[in-house]
A and B are shown apart, each in its own frame.
Chain A
């Protein structure tokens, strides 16, 4: 039976084929590297706040994953397994570097700096919120926020990657959003939402017009 092209196979199928060994194993894993290279790099960039460290950890995470591909459990998503490896490597590296320097200076590109300065544009609110997250949230909260919104991970998957309970992750996300809302409102650029007594009427009118 002819196999589907590598690009059409799911990450889990590719990982299982890489587990099986043989000549196709390396090419399957190479496809996985292609798919997750940028995503893992950005995840680790959030953790390390340094491009050089993030690239080094990305490389190390893929090598560790290839070395330990036999211990991958197909019951879990490949991304969860890979991100768990990357997260643990980041923690180890952070411990090593903890006494030498801190990861509190984020290397921004020119585009990101411009985005921060454009305060009046509502369409940039999301980006401003992410930039605010860098400065006002703890590393755990940032990681949870990134995995939830940038990677669309479920709570259970985030809990596995971060080594926390599901309730812990939910509370972590809640507090992160709360901190962001408060900080943004104090800075005066997040919409202040209020509910008026005639809310039901307005909601009905807007819904009717939009559906029409």
Chain B
């Protein structure tokens, strides 16, 4: 049953690698043999099978006595098929026998459905209208292409945001370092370098007009948001409670008796 890859002379290689042999057995061999066996030109898709003919022809069994020995079935099969291809491996011979047996049309087990199945289908067909071509095309396209399209759009948006944020953050977070305070000779400084605050570090030295407008807009928005929050009824109540709580706490502290001093 087992077969190993052979060299060009058809003989097994004298130095065989067990790992390669294992790979051949589990991966290469099934693919190669399946490919060879399923070749319709080689066996003939609908052609007669010698195996079938032998199994059906009882006279041949009695006449020649060949098939009494089951080991010779392949020989006769090959002869009846006039197939020039000679079997090389046991696995292929087994495949051929099974192939021939499965091709016997009258031995394929088939059942009949219920007699009223066709009538049921016909009745329901009258109630269903085929989906129009345009709609069918759209739904099929959606069904087939919707998921990949959504994934592609999400990926594109994600990549766009990632790259935009990275580039903007790189340019915005570039440290400004220290700034000299107006020395004429930088080699002989008379004044100390003024350290920059963190806020100053994150602000571009020469903000563009857009940056200034954006900053103003953000401040305005923040102020508007605070005003909105303060004007909300819930916020007012919360503030009132907070103020009341502070007053109560102060009153309680004043009314508390003085703690006696601990004796030494």
Contact = CB atoms under 8 A, between A and B. Distances in A.
A78 interface: no
B37 interface: yes
A171 B28 CA distance: 11
Give the interface residue-count category, chain B: 35 or more
Interface of B: 30-31, 33-35, 37-38, 40, 45-46, 55-56, 64, 66, 70-76, 78-80, 82, 87, 90-91, 93-99, 101-104, 107-114, 117-118, 120-122, 124-126, 128-133, 136-137, 140
17 contacts: A19-B133, A33-B118, A33-B122, A51-B114, A55-B117, A63-B125, A112-B109, A125-B55, A130-B107, A167-B35, A171-B34, A174-B34, A177-B98, A185-B94, A206-B76, A206-B79, A209-B64
Contacts of A196: 71
Nearest to A179: B98
A5 interface: no
Contacts of A130: 102, 107-109
Contact of B78 (A177, A178, A191, A203): A203
B136 A71 contact: yes
A16 interface: no
Contact of B71 (A123, A150, A192, A207): A192
A129 interface: yes
B109 A127 contact: yes
Given A68-B136, A150-B108, A167-B31, A192 B82 contact: no
B71 A70 contact: no
Given A123-B56, A149-B103, A192-B70, A33 B75 contact: no
A71 B140 contact: yes
Nearest to B109: A130
B35 A170 contact: yes
A64 to B, nearest CB: 9
Main secondary structure of the interface of B (DSSP, over half): helix
B71 A126 contact: no
Interface string A134-158: 0000000000010011101011000
B79 A26 contact: no
B85 to A, nearest CB: 12
B107 A127 contact: yes
A177 B107 contact: no
A25 B37 CA distance: 42
A74 B190 CA distance: 91
A109 B56 CA distance: 25
A163 interface: no
Contacts of B80: 206-207, 210
A42 interface: yes
Nearest to B94: A181
A82 interface: no
A51 B111 contact: yes
Contacts of B55: 122-123, 125
Given A127-B109, A174-B30, 17 more contacts: A25-B130, A33-B118, A42-B110, A55-B117, A59-B117, A63-B128, A67-B129, A70-B132, A70-B136, A126-B107, A167-B31, A171-B31, A177-B95, A178-B91, A185-B94, A196-B71, A207-B80
